[in-house]
Amino acid sequence: MVINPKASHHFAKVLMKRSKTDAVDAELLAIYSERMPFEAWQRPADEQIALRAISRRIAALSKQKTQTKNQLHALTATEETPALVIEHIKALIALLEKQIAAHRSSALELIRQHQPLAEALTWVTSIKGIAQASGIQLLAELMILPQDMTARQWVAYAGLDPRVFESGSSVSKKPRISKAGNKFIRQALYMPALVATRFEPNIKGYYVHLIQDNGLKKVQAICAVMRKLLHAIHGMLNAKQAFDGTCFYKLPAEANSQ
């Protein structure tokens, strides 16, 4: 069994543990295993583990490239910055881009060598807004999950489930996404959701419906689109078929024609 470190950390707080030593941790884990339900861990396939490692390295390099570009922008805003510093930062950006491209090519080659991954990438990228880069990130995080997980469990795992905060009759905060989950899935879904709301008619219709009819703010509507995209991907992988916009959301004209 493999438990979330955050769960054991909060479990220790519940037991009012004041110290953290190897002996205390061992006792804590023993108590946890006695009281909590046992969920056996099943090791994913080697190619799935390798793909996730490559994808997360790409994410780390992309973040570093963004930070370096921001530094370059700040340094070029002043004339006092030596030319050597600018030159070295530009060389670093070029190196990071080269490494990202190499890792992405390696990921695609790994996917081509395994038919289930190759088919899944074809289905996922059939959604307008999800290209190869986003597809690699999504598959790396989703294909490694147990196959019996439901779409709602995927949403909770990604931290896109609503967090309700109510207490009595006086405290009732607006629901927000919990973010208590895999940040890499949320990062991989955000830009595809933005693009899809512009170029995929059915997803755009759903986005407009959420804003105009349900009164959601744009950022709330984007989160809702991300959540429904995750449901759609789950259904596509189970049904082994490409994206069908009418299953995502039926536009008024499509609904009337039926």
pLDDT tens by residue, 21-45: 999 999 999 999 999 999 888 899 9
Residue 149 has pLDDT above 80, yes or no: yes
- Judged against a pLDDT cut of 60, whether residue 86 lies above it is answered with yes
pLDDT recorded at residue 49: 96
Token duo for residue 61: 């390099």
Residues shown for the chain:
258
pLDDT greater than 60 at residue 6: yes
Question: pLDDT category, 235, cuts 50, 70, 90?
Answer: very high
Summarize the confidence of residues 130-154 as an average pLDDT.
95
pLDDT at 258 over 60: no
The stretch 117-125 carries a mean pLDDT of 96
Q: What per-residue confidence (pLDDT) applies to 11?
A: 94
Contact 225, 203 (CB under 8 A): yes
**In a 3-state reduction of DSSP, which class is residue 193?**
helix
Interval 180-202: pLDDT, tens = 889 999 999 999 999 999 999 99
Residue with more model confidence, 1 or 52:
52
Could you give the residue ranges of the DSSP H alpha helices within the chain? 5-14, 22-35, 46-76, 83-112, 115-124, 132-142, 151-158, 183-199, 201-212, 218-239, 245-248, 252-257
